[in-house]
């Protein structure tokens, strides 16, 4: 990546990416994935975590409520995280290609960048929302991405399949271990995956308590997510999708270098196949009423389907970009994507203010259908405000903080007149 005329190397021999150097394809896809993630996250923002995997925990599971739960499960569950993970993997390739004074890849800066992201994720998880994914992403960036970046696309694909297969086998093994678990262990598992109405109400009371009560009750779940759940799930699922994203980027797929026809047939085949597998899995989960241990096996339908659907969604948007369609909407999505960290954190902050007891205390009042109305409102807000912000500033506030801490230098925030929008 050549230097831009008039720019100087930063204090560590690296130039932060400017708006003029950004890839529209990645920003648009990142914006779509970021908005879609909220459709799943809202379940454990607007209600206790148990309502995420178990629709009978707190609400009536029928009519529009059932339709909303099934719709988000089939269309969004694991697909948005998968797409975002692919883009995160591609990001390390772009970062490693940054110009430096020494000519060597900016390894130290990458690990500092991931360390800052890890810190932001810890604060987010413990003090705002337990479902944080920044910590798993940062850990995957530290443990996996930099060390795999030089591999060929075919080798990256092979490792992606291996990682995803290990994750699937661990999930399957967990189900097979059910019979060997003690009653106490099963009860502990059920409290998370299939909580009773009484237990869900107890968790709801904790959400509606004081901020101190919330943080105290939140901490054990955060620890579970960032230790056991990371080793058993995030490392393999997110890591595998990140490696897949690196492979697709090296093949010229994610940055739009393939033909419109390639994107068209990929979108049709992968989206249809992925959503078909997910729909079958959702139907089977209903049949067994989401019960353990059967769901650990049935979940594999969506686990596999989401991989295909994530690629299919990416292909669909890349086809739209290649055809030059919906330019105005694409610019809005790209702005959301450029401010992905800010928008992600804002989704959590807004939800905390609306739903937790220390503020407005609406937790438990919106069922799955009502939650989608709230999600649509946040989408509209971020699609409106993000372009307005990007028109005046180079980065979102969280991105500015992330970059400034990474480079240990205050980054210029104001948009330069010479930089054109993507």
**Which has more confidence, 380 or 96?**
380
Over residues 397-412, mean pLDDT: 93
User: Is the predicted pLDDT of residue 48 greater than 80, yes or no?
Assistant: yes
Place of tokens 């609306």: 354
Nearest to 96 by CA among 14, 185, 216: 14
Tokens of 93: 């390739």
pLDDT at 4: 31
CB 334 within 8 Å of CB 256: no
CA 72, CA 59: separation in Å to the nearest integer?
16
| Token pair in block for residue 227 | 């230790």
Q: What is the average pLDDT value for the chain, to the nearest integer?
A: 90
> What was the pLDDT predicted at 104?
65
Given this model, what pLDDT does residue 416 score? 66
pLDDT at 15 over 90: no
Is the per-residue pLDDT at 270 higher than 90? yes
11: pLDDT confidence band, cut at 50, 70 and 90?
Answer: very low
User: Residue 14 forms beta bridges with which residues?
Assistant: 100
Structure tokens given for 205: 């009371």
pLDDT at 348: 97
pLDDT bucket at 100, cuts 50 / 70 / 90: low
- The answer to whether 387 and 329 are in contact (CB under 8 A) is no
pLDDT in tens, 200-223: 999 999 999 999 989 998 999 999
**Looking at residue 222, what DSSP letter applies?**
H
At 190, the pLDDT band (50, 70, 90 cuts) reads confident
Residue 422: predicted pLDDT: 32
Asked which of 9-18, 44-53, 260-269, 276-285 is least confident by mean pLDDT, the reply is 9-18
β-bridge partners, 393: 414
- The pLDDT of residue 2 is above 70: no
Report whether pLDDT(18) > 50.
no
Report the distance separating Cα 313 and Cα 308, nearest Å.
Answer: 9
The rounded Cα 342 to chain-centroid distance in angstroms is 13
Q: What is the pLDDT of residue 254?
A: 93
For 328-383, the pLDDT digits (tens) are: 999 999 999 999 999 999 999 999 999 999 999 999 999 999 999 999 999 999 99
Could you read off the pLDDT of 285-304 as tens digits, one per residue?
Answer: 999 999 988 999 999 999 99
Domain boundaries, the chain: 19-407
Separation of alpha carbons 110 and 95, rounded Å: 7
pLDDT given for residue 1 in this prediction: 33
3-state helix, strand, coil in the chain (%, to 5): 70, 0, 25
Query: Is the model's pLDDT at 66 over the cut of 60?
Result: yes
Q: Does residue 419 have a pLDDT over 70?
A: no
Cβ 51 vs Cβ 59: under 8 Å: yes
Of 395, 241, 340, 322, which is closest to residue 27 (Cα–Cα)?
340
Alpha-carbon span 280 to 293, nearest angstrom: 18
Reduce the DSSP state of residue 124 to 3 states and report it: helix
Q: For the chain, give the percent of residues with pLDDT over 70.
A: 91
Average pLDDT on 244-266 reads 95
Average pLDDT over residues 49-66: 95
The answer to whether residue 17 scores a pLDDT higher than 50 is no
Sign, Cα dihedral of 94, 95, 96, 98: positive
How much is the pLDDT for 376?
98
pLDDT band per the 50, 70, 90 thresholds, residue 183: confident
């Amino acid at each position: 990546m050549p230097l831009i005329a008039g720019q100087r190397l930063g204090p560590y021999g690296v130039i932060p990416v400017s708006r003029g150097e950004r890839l529209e394809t990645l920003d648009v896809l990142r914006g779509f994935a970021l908005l879609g993630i909220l459709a799943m996250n809202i379940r454990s923002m607007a209600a206790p975590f148990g309502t995420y995997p178990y629709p009978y925990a707190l609400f009536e599971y029928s009519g529009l409520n059932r339709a909303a739960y099934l719709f988000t499960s089939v269309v969004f569950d694991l697909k948005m995280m998968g797409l975002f993970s692919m883009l995160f993997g591609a990001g390390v390739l772009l970062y490693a290609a940054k110009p430096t004074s020494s000519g060597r890849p900016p390894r130290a800066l990458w690990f500092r960048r991931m360390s800052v992201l890890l810190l932001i994720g810890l604060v987010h998880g413990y003090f705002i929302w337990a479902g944080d994914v920044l910590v798993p992403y940062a850990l995957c960036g530290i443990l996996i991405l930099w060390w795999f970046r030089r591999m060929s696309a075919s080798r990256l694909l092979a490792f992606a399949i291996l990682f995803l297969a290990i994750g699937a086998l661990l999930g399957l093994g967990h189900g097979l271990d059910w019979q060997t678990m003690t009653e106490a262990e099963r009860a502990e598992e059920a409290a998370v995956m299939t909580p009773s109405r009484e237990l869900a109400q107890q968790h709801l009371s904790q959400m509606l308590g004081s901020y101190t009560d919330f943080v105290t009750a939140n901490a054990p779940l955060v620890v579970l997510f960032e230790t056991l759940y990371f080793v058993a799930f995030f490392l393999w699922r997110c890591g595998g999708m990140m490696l897949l994203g690196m492979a697709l980027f090296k093949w010229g797929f994610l940055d739009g270098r393939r033909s419109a026809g390639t994107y068209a047939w990929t979108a049709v085949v992968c989206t249809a196949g992925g959503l078909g597998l997910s729909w079958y899995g959702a139907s089977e989960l209903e049949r067994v009423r989401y019960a353990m241990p059967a769901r650990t096996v049935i979940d594999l339908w969506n686990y596999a389907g989401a991989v295909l659907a994530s690629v299919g969604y990416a292909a669909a948007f890349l086809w739209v970009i290649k055809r030059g369609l919906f330019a105005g909407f694409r610019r809005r999505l790209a702005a959301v994507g450029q401010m992905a960290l800010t928008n992600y954190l804002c989704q959590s902050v807004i939800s905390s203010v609306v739903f937790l007891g220390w503020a407005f205390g609406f937790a438990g009042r919106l069922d799955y259908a009502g939650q989608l109305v709230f999600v649509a409102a946040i989408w509209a807000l971020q699609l409106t405000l993000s372009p307005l912000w990007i028109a005046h500033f180079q980065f979102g506030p969280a991105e500015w903080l992330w970059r400034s801490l990474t480079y240990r230098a205050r980054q210029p925030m104001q948009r330069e007149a010479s930089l054109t929008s993507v």
